[in-house]
Structure 1
Amino acid sequence: MQHRAEREWELSIGPDTVRLFILKAKALSAGMADDFADGSEHEVEFDGDGHDLHQHDGLAEEESEDLTERELRELIGDLNVDEAAELIALTWVGRGDYDASEWSEALAAARQRPWRQTAKYLLGMPQLADWLEQGLEAVAE
């Protein structure tokens, strides 16, 4: 019978917390993908009759996307320094910058990043949800 080697480290950030970030990031990217799929992001068409009342549900959609981004930004902002570094390191492992066996190196590099800019950094990644998911799977094995 084969025994899995014990990890010499434990995550400060809980897997359920990471999964919450993944769900929020997926919701955020799905909203953005819908805009691009429609081919009409930020486009306004007039049919020549500008006096008709026009109701636009897009404002509610934009507010919802902003809310999701704001929630995700606040959740990341609530992390302590160690948890924020782990979230970045998980992303890097998922992206393939580091292997799960290089966790210590990834974490050390993540700790070098400015802690207060973690949300901005992570939310700038278009595949954040996928990379977090893959990173979590890799280090949980």
Structure 2
Amino acid sequence: MMEISARKVVHIIFQAREGRMADAELRAFIDNLNMDEQSALVAIAWVGRGAFEAEDYAEAVATAEAEATTPTADYLMGMPHLAENLENGLEALGVDVSAEEEDFL
């Protein structure tokens, strides 16, 4: 079970796709997530880029919690292909991204 709603992750995906124009809003949104949500977000991105398999999601969350040394927004916003990593991560975890995306279109 993810500690962050798919809706919040999709919101971040859309902001990340907007590029530089959404940086301040994206940073504020991530900063306002609680620590569990931030760790889950990092874990989803890791699953999406192939650093962890979907079945190792819990381990990815634990690793994100244990290795958090920089602000989550800084870390994620410095990640190449953040939007794609998050989308791929949700899909790998069995979340229907298209259903959540409809709310944003």
TM-score of the two chains, using structure 1 as the length reference: 0.64
Identical columns (%)? 41
The equivalent position to 1:113 in structure 2, one of 67, 72, 78, is 67
Name the structure 2 match of 1:11. 2
Matched-pair contact (CA < 8 Å) for 1:89–1:107:
yes
The gaps in structure 1 that reach 5 residues or longer are 1-9, 32-64
**Shift in Å, 1:104:** 1.3
Question: Structure 1 runs of 4+ off > 6 angstroms?
Answer: none
**Shift in Å, 1:115:** 6.8
User: Between Structure 1 and Structure 2, which shows a larger proportion of helix residues?
Assistant: 2
Determine whether 1:23 maps to 2:14.
Answer: yes
**Shift in Å, 1:116:** 5.8
TM-score of the two chains, using structure 2 as the length reference: 0.85
Measure, in 1, the Cα distance between the counterparts of 2:18 and 2:91: 20
Determine whether 1:132 maps to 2:81.
Answer: no
The gaps in structure 2 that reach 5 residues or longer are 96-105
Measure, in 1, the Cα distance between the counterparts of 2:90 and 2:45: 8
Matched-pair contact (CA < 8 Å) for 1:84–1:115:
no
Matched-pair contact (CA < 8 Å) for 1:77–1:116:
no
The alignment covers a number of residue pairs equal to 95
Name the structure 1 match of 2:54. 100
CA deviation profile, 1:15-56 (whole Å, cap 9, x unmatched): 01100000000111xx5xxxxxxxxxxxxxxxxxxxxxxxxx
